[in-house]
Structures are given as C-alpha cells and as structure tokens.
Amino acid sequence: MKHSLTVLALLGCSILAGCGTENRGLSSVHQPVVSRTDYVYDMPAPSDRLGDSDDRALTGWFESLSLRYGDHVAVDTQGYGPGARDAVSAVVARYGLLVDEAAPVTQGDIPAGSIRVIVSRMSASVPNCPDWSRPANPNFDGHALSNYGCATNGNLAAMVADPRDLISGRTGATSPDGATAAKAIRTYRNAVPTGAGGLKSEATKGK
C-alpha cells in the first residue's frame, strides 16, 4: 500500500505540473531580499553648531534608534547651507559614521525653519525559508532540493554588516586611505572603555 500511495502522489504531481518549489538550475531560488526603512527627525535649522538642547535631542533620537554601523544618515538642509549639515555631522561622527552626500526623498513637508535628519536602515532576509515543499526522494525530474540555498543565503543575510552591499558591491580604492584605516581604531578608543573600573587603559589616554 505504501508503494501504491507513492506512485499516486508522483502521478498527482505530474498532472498538477509539479509539487513544491521548482528549481532545475545550479543556483538557489532562495536569494536574500533587502528592504529599507527610513526614519526622519525634523529639528530647528542650526547655523554652524547645535545648541545644547538640540544636541541632546538629536543624540537621544539616535540612541532610541540604536544607531550603528550599516545605518546611513543624511540631512535635507532645505537650502540652509553646509553649516547645518556640518553641525549634524559632528554628532553623527560620535557613532563612527559619516553623513551621506545626498538625502533620500521622504514623505511630508519639512516645517519652515527646520532641517530633516534621515536615518536609512536596511535589513536582509531570505523569504520562504526553510522550504520543505518538495520531497527529497524520489526525484525523477532533476530538481534541486526545495530547501537548497536556505542555510547559506540565510546566514549571509544575517551576518552581512551593511545589507546594501548585497545590492551592489563596493569599488575598492586605487590607493590606501590612511583616514579610513585609522577610523576604526579611533572609534574604538573613543567609545569602548577598557581596564579596571571602566576606565581607559594607559595606552589609550590622551589619544
């Protein structure tokens, strides 16, 4: 009876033009999908630096978002000039990030006398995984396992630091950039306390 049911199932799959995920190629049909979410914050336009209250408000907003590597920060200055962008950049630099040159289009009008700070956060995932829609055996029509690629691409999506790199890779510089190389060390020294009592070690004091 077991063999009869198997034959009937195979005939049913043939009549219905396939059971489960179709994949007769060498590449996985389960690829990472990147999505983007934009967070906006409208604040009074500064001249050349942020006041203490505006600095605390912007920092608090960044902290509420857990601003981190992989996030992209932009400023829509509404024509207030480079000073407004530089003032925001000084706060963003505390997180080891740079402000993007261009700001993405966002919904809603910016209030008069204000600028808009945008944090773009991307995430990557592999939809429909795990996928056990097609039985592994028997396989008489040359299909790859329906779950093929879920583990590898799922791990890649979970581990990539900047999901934007999955869309288009970065072009390497023709010559080494000393500022870029030292940026990680400077960020570590400024943000991560070391040594007993949460104090920086002697090697990092004053640097």
Counted domains in the chain: 1
Q: Is residue 50 part of a domain?
A: yes
Token pair for 133: 């829609």
8 A C-beta contact, residue 95 and residue 67: yes
Q: Is residue 61 part of a domain?
A: yes
Q: Is residue 96 part of a domain?
A: yes
CA distances from 157 to 18, 125, 191 (A): 29, 5, 27
Please give the pLDDT value at position 196.
44
Q: Is residue 157 part of a domain?
A: no
User: Mean pLDDT, to the nearest integer, of 24-43?
Assistant: 93
Domain span including residue 65: 36-122
Give pTM, 2 decimals.
0.66
Strands 114-125 and 33-44 come out as antiparallel
d(CA 44, CA 27): 51
Q: Is residue 111 part of a domain?
A: yes
8 A C-beta contact, residue 10 and residue 142: no
Q: Is residue 199 part of a domain?
A: no
Please give the pLDDT value at position 40.
96
Q: Is residue 57 part of a domain?
A: yes
59-63, 147-151, 158-162: lowest mean pLDDT where? 158-162
Please give the pLDDT value at position 25.
86
- For residue 10, is pLDDT > 50? no
pLDDT in tens, 175-190: 777 776 777 777 777 7
pLDDT band at residue 173 using 50, 70 and 90 as cut-offs: low
Give the residue from 106, 104, 115, 111 showing the smallest Cα distance to 43.
Answer: 115
Please give the pLDDT value at position 13.
54
d(CA 169, CA 35): 16
pLDDT in tens, 42-62: 999 887 778 889 999 999 999
What ranges in 16-165 are assigned the alpha helix state H?
A: 52-65, 82-92, 150-159
The larger pLDDT score, comparing residue 164 to residue 191, is at 164
Please give the pLDDT value at position 9.
40
- For residue 17, is pLDDT > 60? no
pLDDT band at residue 74 using 50, 70 and 90 as cut-offs: very high
Q: Which amino acid is at 102?
A: A
Residues 6+ apart with CB under 8 A from 191: 94, 96
Q: Is residue 158 part of a domain?
A: no
At what angle are helices 82-92 and 52-65 packed, to 10 degrees?
50
Percent of the chain residues past pLDDT 90, beyond the cut:
42
User: Mean pLDDT, to the nearest integer, of 96-114?
Assistant: 90
- For residue 73, is pLDDT > 70? yes
Please give the pLDDT value at position 65.
95
Please give the pLDDT value at position 18.
54
d(CA 72, CA 99): 7
